[in-house]
Structure 1
Amino acid sequence: MSRVLVIGAGITGITTAYTLNQHGHDVVVADRHLYPAMETSYANGGQLSASNAEVWNQPGTLLKGIKWMLQKDAPLLLNPLPSWHKYSWLAEFAGAIRNYRTNTVATTRMAIEARQHLYDMAERENIDFNLERRGILHVYHDRAGFDVAARSNTLLLKGGLERYAVTPEEIRNIEPTLTGTYYGGFFTPSDATGDIHRFTRGLAAAAARHGVEFRHGVEIENMQFGDGGVTALLADVMSAGTRRRNDAERLDVDAVVICAGVGSRRLAAMCGDRLNIYPVKGYSITVQLDDEASIAGAPWVSLLDERAKIVTSRLGKDRFRVAGTAEFNGDNRDIRADRIDPLVRWVHENFNVETSRMTPWAGLRPMMPDMMPRVQRGRQQGVYYNTGHGHLGWTLSAATAQLAAALVDEDLPGLSKAA
């Protein structure tokens, strides 16, 4: 039986570790946090959204970024301060515009496949994660926005997604709690929502029951490569200020799968690979629905307001998640009030919901310039990647975990336990 180290205990790392375990591999998960799902998998928008599979590589995205550069509450905010990483990423982003159609169709197909894998995991392990299979409704405030969406919708349909246009009257019937005025929308009945943190923690617990070993609170200081596999040097994060160089623990494995989100770029460099992931910050608020009026006034159908770039998810009876914005500001995890305020204002503009008790959050999406996740072998023998999912990690992870496990299986056959 081969031993595989999975680096990262977010949604991608946990789905990968679980799948590798089901394929008969001896799996160890290492993460710098003390618990699973403590970074980007903590409080995202909650959407399992094949309907959001359109990649961002369009000229209009670059123009909006320039237009909104000095507007602090803009949906897309680009810090203009020079950075080689940022501007090299943007140059590659522009170069990928030519693949916009192909990548959108491919992402749609992957998202549709991923849903069933995720549902199967949840059912097999009896994971309660506030799943709501009520569809996702995209709303548009004017004809121009709706017409742009209609053109991109042809690519989603080509990818196999069931998605259709709806009138303002149909929008009201689908989600009666909306109080705004809309030109029209698109509805995807097969999409869903859920609590990514609860799912990831539940799947991690299931993986542990099946024999996956977890090493929390450790960082990968270095990796050494040889014909016999990979040696990872693990250092205790809690003792970072006092440990000596030779204190790092040696962990010998046959293979390593890097699923470390925005940290994957640094780890790839250790392995001699270039992985141009950029951290794109997103924000969310989780509103506690403490009174009956708010419980009745919050939507159950998941929404995306295209103009505001804001999404919603209902997480059980008493929680309402609102998320959005994209901020290009490097490895900055600050929760800015001027980025949270638009989310709160949007809630009051569209629903009768009390927001006096809500929790703000910010996370860094690991984005590749072409918006496509990287599931591939590394330059060094025994190194694999499953990372760079951007804003669709929750949506795509259960499918890319299968792809990553298949690569490992080709090189290190396991003893499959999967049904």
Structure 2
Amino acid sequence: MHILVLGAGVVGVTTAWYLRQEGYDVTVVDRQCNAGTETSYANGGQISVSHAEPWANPSTPLKVLRWLARPDAPLLFRPRMDPAQWRWGISFLRECTSARAARNMRQIVRLGIYSRERLQALRKDIEIEYDHLEKGILHLYTNPGEFESALEPARIMRELGCDRQVIDADRAVELEPALSPVRQRIAGATYTAEDESGDARRFTQALAIKAQEAGVEFLYGTEILGFENTRDRVLGVTVIREGRHQTLRADSYVLSLGSFSAILARKLGLFLNIYPAKGYSITVPVKNEDAAFNVSLIDDEYKLVFSRLGDRIRVAGTAELSGYSRELNLTRCRAIVRRTAELMPEAGHWEQSEFWAGLRPATPSNVPYIGKSHFGNLYLNTGHGTLGWTHSCGSAAALADIVAGRKPDVDFTFTGLQPAR
């Protein structure tokens, strides 16, 4: 069977890899000139099962209201004359109840644990380098109220098998001495030893090479326009490749186009409640090895994640719901630099920060679409939001099971979509 995977980000490439391991003929299509050059390019770099509390939780609506007037707010909603944005926003508010947030967290944690295990198994099977570290993730809190709010989610995660331990400031500094200059400001912390970090772009491009060696074909520089289809089957994908309009045909298709999945799915009459959440990152060279961290960090108050990638520091975060523009908002970029330099002034050459913005495919619940659509030969693996890197291997392995007619080995509610009304 020939399968066409639409999208060469970290989710699309891992999907292609696991499908090829099942023995399928696989072709990957992407408009860019290489794998991992959009949302996977400069993300936060963390395999963070512990970062599983959904954005939609009871405390969020009030925070968003307070942040409306702040251009550097961690979560910024910029209202537009866009029905998709308002529909997404209303659905988001519905997910902010305690019961729904707990349900969604269970889904996210289970998929995260499974995915981390699959990544570790993949790393043992093949030689692949991507600046990965296995030193855990430390959530730090400089606001006592934010720390208090983290205790219950941490407890739920422990019950689900994610060992997110609550620790004090002294233990946090013991784990990561680079935090010693701000020891007095730390109200508390949590630590998950099993979590990891690594460069998602390097991983994606290295795995794409391995996949090519295994027989996967990559069609880069190919713009996807739409579909040829009947009521219940996809017959082909219309594209522009090397200046020519073409139709690519396969037996089955996988939609893994991140934020653009929703636009393309609509052409088939499928409604995916995915909206782009523009995230920002800075990448800087290490300045002082003693002052630079090695344990990955998460600053929950400012919604920032910190990863050490070899001789570079990556800090990423914030979310801007403002459409599909990837234009840099320098106010938000500088806010990341300011907060990071405040916590670790000597760690990096902050004046050399390389700014980046990417569109993260967010669902209101933070739970992705993985599974079969109502089209008999169209599968979905998209909508992973900020956790595409974390969930990529598990999502891909599970989808390969579904395509092969097996039940995935993870307790997760897989998608079955109905036509849009």
**What's the TM-score, normalizing by structure 2?**
0.91
**2: distance between equivalents of 1:194 and 1:188?**
16
Structure 2 segments unaligned to the other structure (5+ residues): 407-421
* 8 A contact 1:230–1:382 mirrored in 2: no
Q: State the Cα distance separating 1:134 from its structure 2 match.
A: 0.4
Instruction: Tell me, yes or no, if structure 1 residue 263 matches structure 2 residue 264.
Output: no
Instruction: Tell me, yes or no, if structure 1 residue 407 matches structure 2 residue 402.
Output: yes
Name the counterpart of 2:170.
169
Percentage of identical aligned residues: 37
Q: State the Cα distance separating 1:376 from its structure 2 match.
A: 2.0
* 8 A contact 2:234–2:375 mirrored in 1: no
Instruction: Tell me, yes or no, if structure 1 residue 312 matches structure 2 residue 298.
Output: no
CA RMSD of aligned residues (A): 1.5
Name the counterpart of 2:190.
186
Q: State the Cα distance separating 1:270 from its structure 2 match.
A: 2.2
Q: State the Cα distance separating 1:377 from its structure 2 match.
A: 1.4
* 8 A contact 2:233–2:376 mirrored in 1: no
Cα deviation 1:322-363 (Å, max 9, x = unaligned): 111111111010111101111111222111233132211001
Q: State the Cα distance separating 1:85 from its structure 2 match.
A: 1.1
After superposition, residues 373-388 of structure 1 pair within 5 angstroms as: 373-388=368-383
1:382–1:235 Cα change, 3 Å: same
**2: distance between equivalents of 1:222 and 1:308?**
39
Q: State the Cα distance separating 1:142 from its structure 2 match.
A: 3.1
Secondary structure, in 3 states, of the residue corresponding to 1:19?
helix
Instruction: Tell me, yes or no, if structure 1 residue 231 matches structure 2 residue 236.
Output: yes
- Amino acid in structure 2 at the alignment position of 1:406: D
**2: distance between equivalents of 1:223 and 1:76?**
35
Structure 1's consecutive aligned runs of 4 or more residues displaced over 4 angstroms after TM superposition are 226-229
Q: State the Cα distance separating 1:259 from its structure 2 match.
A: 0.4
* 8 A contact 1:118–1:398 mirrored in 2: yes
Instruction: Tell me, yes or no, if structure 1 residue 32 matches structure 2 residue 25.
Output: no
- Amino acid in structure 2 at the alignment position of 1:152: P
After superposition, residues 13-412 of structure 1 pair within 5 angstroms as: 13-97=12-96, 98-178=99-179, 179-180=181-182, 181-225=185-229, 230-236=235-241, 239=243, 247-289=244-286, 291=287, 294-316=288-310, 318-351=311-344, 352-353=346-347, 354-410=349-405
* 8 A contact 1:4–1:27 mirrored in 2: yes
- Amino acid in structure 1 at the alignment position of 2:251: D
**2: distance between equivalents of 1:228 and 1:303?**
45
**What's the TM-score, normalizing by structure 1?**
0.92
How many matched pairs?
A: 398
* 8 A contact 2:233–2:378 mirrored in 1: no
Cα deviation 1:52-99 (Å, max 9, x = unaligned): 011122132122112111111111111133421111101111222342
**2: distance between equivalents of 1:210 and 1:75?**
42
**2: distance between equivalents of 1:229 and 1:142?**
52
**2: distance between equivalents of 1:155 and 1:332?**
36
Secondary structure, in 3 states, of the residue corresponding to 2:249?
strand
- Amino acid in structure 2 at the alignment position of 1:193: S
1:224–1:82 Cα change, 3 Å: closer
Name the counterpart of 2:417.
none
**1: distance between equivalents of 2:107 and 2:160?**
7
* 8 A contact 2:333–2:355 mirrored in 1: yes
Q: State the Cα distance separating 1:16 from its structure 2 match.
A: 0.3
1:229–1:75 Cα change, 3 Å: closer
Name the counterpart of 2:412.
none
Q: State the Cα distance separating 1:228 from its structure 2 match.
A: 8.2
* 8 A contact 2:227–2:234 mirrored in 1: no
* 8 A contact 1:137–1:301 mirrored in 2: yes
- Amino acid in structure 2 at the alignment position of 1:324: G
**1: distance between equivalents of 2:80 and 2:104?**
30
**1: distance between equivalents of 2:329 and 2:261?**
25
**2: distance between equivalents of 1:80 and 1:253?**
40
1:228–1:164 Cα change, 3 Å: closer
Q: State the Cα distance separating 1:116 from its structure 2 match.
A: 1.6
Cα deviation 1:1-58 (Å, max 9, x = unaligned): x000000000100000000000010000000101000111000011100000111221
Cα deviation 1:115-152 (Å, max 9, x = unaligned): 12112223322110111000100111233211110011
Secondary structure, in 3 states, of the residue corresponding to 2:79?
coil
- Amino acid in structure 2 at the alignment position of 1:96: E
Structure 1 segments unaligned to the other structure (5+ residues): 240-246, 412-419
- Amino acid in structure 2 at the alignment position of 1:350: L
| Bigger mean CA deviation after superposition, 339-348 or 188-197 | 339-348
* 8 A contact 1:223–1:233 mirrored in 2: yes
Secondary structure, in 3 states, of the residue corresponding to 1:207?
helix
* 8 A contact 1:225–1:380 mirrored in 2: no
Cα deviation 1:161-206 (Å, max 9, x = unaligned): 1111111111111111112221111111110100000000010000
